[in-house]
Structure 1
Amino acid sequence: MASTLRNCTLVIALCSAAIFPGSGPVRADHATVRNYRPFTTELYTKDKKLARIALRRFIGKGKEYYLAVNPDTLESELAPVGKYLFLKRSLGEMREEHGNRAYFKALAFSERNSRNLQNAGITHISGHGAAVYLTADLCPTRRPLDRALFMRIMNEYGNYHKPVPVALSITGRWMEKHSADLRWLIDLEKNKIISIVWINHTYTHLYKKNLPLSKNFLLNKTAGIDEEILHNEIAMIESGLIPSVFFRFPGLISNREAFLKITGLGLIPVGSDAWLGKNQWPKQGSIILVHANNQELVGMKRLAGLINAKQKAIAAGEWMLRDIRAGIVEYMKMY
């Protein structure tokens, strides 16, 4: 990297809002997002240390932002253009240059499991014996969120550890119909009851009942993968969310071509080895999948029963829910 910096010029990105107070992530709450596009560049601190990898660029509230990821922690940020120095690079160039950083390791690791029709990507996270990783899908539905059951689960675990880490795979169609439920979830996070990683689950979650899996969901010939991904990210940002670098295929259905389009957009696909609604029970390191959209209540009820049964182990630190980002960062140290 030292030689790269000697041979390339780092430029301060200038815009009408080049100076921003504070150093934390910026939320573009309810901003109308314009000119949203893939845009990859390395972002550096003033002392020329790599700080973030930008994946998108857009205009919100009249200011320019990057959607960027910390390559060591996998945390996402909406970074105002001008906050960091930048060096324009393609994603491929950055993967080659920084392949030892957790983010790029995770991209490459997910691609090892990219040929399966069902459940491709990262499905299990080794490295921390007591941990499992809770993911909950919010697929399109007319049904409201079952807040009582959701809170029962969060409170049972939250009696011992708060905030409760959960990764929510969200769709644009769900956000359209459930703005009050979305705001309720955001308020839970603001009150430190839960800690949410927002996973892109496409905008429409396209599904045709009579089509075979090999031609369904994102494999449907009418599906536009770029549009599904970017449209959903726009909807997330306009709803006050910060999209993570994770992606979940609708129905957990994909093929190699679709998979590489997702990683080509800088997203890390995650599946599950413990879909509770299908009677798959978690073990150490499992990525649990439930549907929090009131469409598969059996999974949520099994989760509630599981947490209740694990009370002593939770209290003793022998069974825990963990942030999926921290788990993958630790897991990548093994590779």
Structure 2
Amino acid sequence: MRLLYFLLFILSLIAAAPRAAHARQITEYRPLRDPVADRSGRPLWAVRSFKEDGAPHRLVVDAATLQGFDLPASDLVPRAEGEAGFWTTRLGRAVKRYTAPPYRLQNGGATRAETATDGFFLTVDLCPSKRRFERELFETAEALSPGKAVPVAVMVTGLWLESHPEEVAYLKGEVAAGRLAVTWVNHSWHHHYDPKAPLADNFLLAPGTDLRAEVLQQEQELLARGLVPSPFFRFPGLVSGAAAMKLLAELSLVPIGADAWLAKGEQPKRGSFILVHGNGNEPKGIKLALPLLKGTEVRLLPLSAAFGD
């Protein structure tokens, strides 16, 4: 009997583990675009409505700074502005510009800074993988500015989040310690890939793909872990089409491409969006990135700084 109780106790711990990993329960998740203000009077745009552990919340974006926040709905009040006002903001103009035709099959959206800059933008893809997490990449980036939070955009998939709790905890710890300033970028939920399929039928363009679910499910996964989604999205494989771009516009998201995918031999220049994989899938890119990040003149910038006023 004691053995039975012990086994039941172990099973209860196992059953509770997923709930512990998802400290917050996100339900009734839906897109919207409402002008609101916080308690200080700061103008914001509510882009998602949901309940967090049963309490009404909003995912809001400061359309001037491109920063997102998870706020209780009770902390927000409506603003007397029509939805059309969104498209006159810094964020709205970026969404409109980078989701507009012509639609390229690969590397659509923003690929580098809009204006001249003296720095680079490090974007790290975390696609589904069972390989070793590239912690050295983040440690090397942190060494660029000891004592300061180094900006990096982490393009993360839902399946990677689910299967790498220790690595997620590491990144959250580095942010809490003030060593990293992470912009959490949606990289889809599944990141489907078929090496035998043509690009036009691959990644998010694969037949039967639910584009909306791929985007919104991943946002919920981030929020469940206390991570705030940014207003940016990176297409898996940098592959997209008209329907996908139109969906991002509807969801108030800016697509992020790259002009310096290191493993493909693309050379970064000032203002480049550097693309590397931090999931162990592309060691060539990491091998090239490490000496670059050890350069004395390298300065990393937050992704939001790539967009004009």
Pick from 42, 55, 79 the counterpart of residue 35 of structure 2. 42
- Give the match for residue 298 of structure 1: 284
| Cα distance per residue 1:254-299 (max 9 Å; x no partner) | 0112111122111110100000111111111111110000110111
CA distance in 2, matches of 1:44, 1:151: 35
8 Å Cα contact 1:118/1:253 also seen in 2? yes
Report matched runs for 1:69-218 at 5 Å: 69-87=61-79, 94=83, 96-112=84-100, 115-147=103-135, 149-159=136-146, 162-218=148-204
CA distance in 2, matches of 1:307, 1:261: 35
- Give the match for residue 10 of structure 1: none
CA distance in 2, matches of 1:38, 1:117: 26
| Cα distance, 1:207 vs structure 2 | 1.3
The 3 A distance-change label for structure 1 pair 172 and 82 is: same
Q: State yes or no: 1:268 paired with 2:266.
A: no
CA distance in 1, matches of 2:248, 2:201: 17
Structure 2 length normalisation: TM-score?
0.88
User: What is the identity, as a one-letter code, of the residue corresponding to 2:53?
Assistant: K
The 3 A distance-change label for structure 1 pair 179 and 81 is: same
Runs of 4+, deviation exceeding 3 Å:
none
CA RMSD between the two structures: 1.9
The 3 A distance-change label for structure 1 pair 114 and 31 is: farther
The 3 A distance-change label for structure 1 pair 180 and 142 is: same
8 Å Cα contact 1:138/1:174 also seen in 2? yes
| Cα distance per residue 1:229-250 (max 9 Å; x no partner) | 1111111111121011100000
| Cα distance per residue 1:113-158 (max 9 Å; x no partner) | 65000000001103243111110000000113122x2244224313
- Give the match for residue 4 of structure 1: none
| Cα distance, 1:86 vs structure 2 | 1.6
- Give the match for residue 60 of structure 2: 68
8 Å Cα contact 1:32/1:60 also seen in 2? yes
CA distance in 2, matches of 1:50, 1:102: 15
| Cα distance, 1:45 vs structure 2 | 4.6
8 Å Cα contact 1:144/1:178 also seen in 2? no
CA distance in 1, matches of 2:33, 2:142: 40
CA distance in 1, matches of 2:112, 2:51: 36
Gaps of 5+ in 2: 1-21
8 Å Cα contact 1:153/1:303 also seen in 2? no
- Give the match for residue 288 of structure 1: 274
8 Å Cα contact 2:29/2:48 also seen in 1? yes
SS at match of 1:56: strand
| Cα distance, 1:307 vs structure 2 | 2.0
| Cα distance, 1:112 vs structure 2 | 3.9
User: What is the identity, as a one-letter code, of the residue corresponding to 2:77?
Assistant: L
Percent sequence identity over matched residues? 31
Q: State yes or no: 1:54 paired with 2:46.
A: yes
SS at match of 1:195: strand
SS at match of 1:321: coil
8 Å Cα contact 1:43/1:53 also seen in 2? yes
| Cα distance per residue 1:312-332 (max 9 Å; x no partner) | x2xxxxx4110111232xx2x
8 Å Cα contact 1:263/1:269 also seen in 2? no
| Cα distance, 1:39 vs structure 2 | 2.4
Q: State yes or no: 1:30 paired with 2:17.
A: no
CA distance in 2, matches of 1:205, 1:295: 13
Number of equivalences: 288
Gaps of 5+ in 1: 1-28, 314-318
Q: State yes or no: 1:323 paired with 2:302.
A: yes
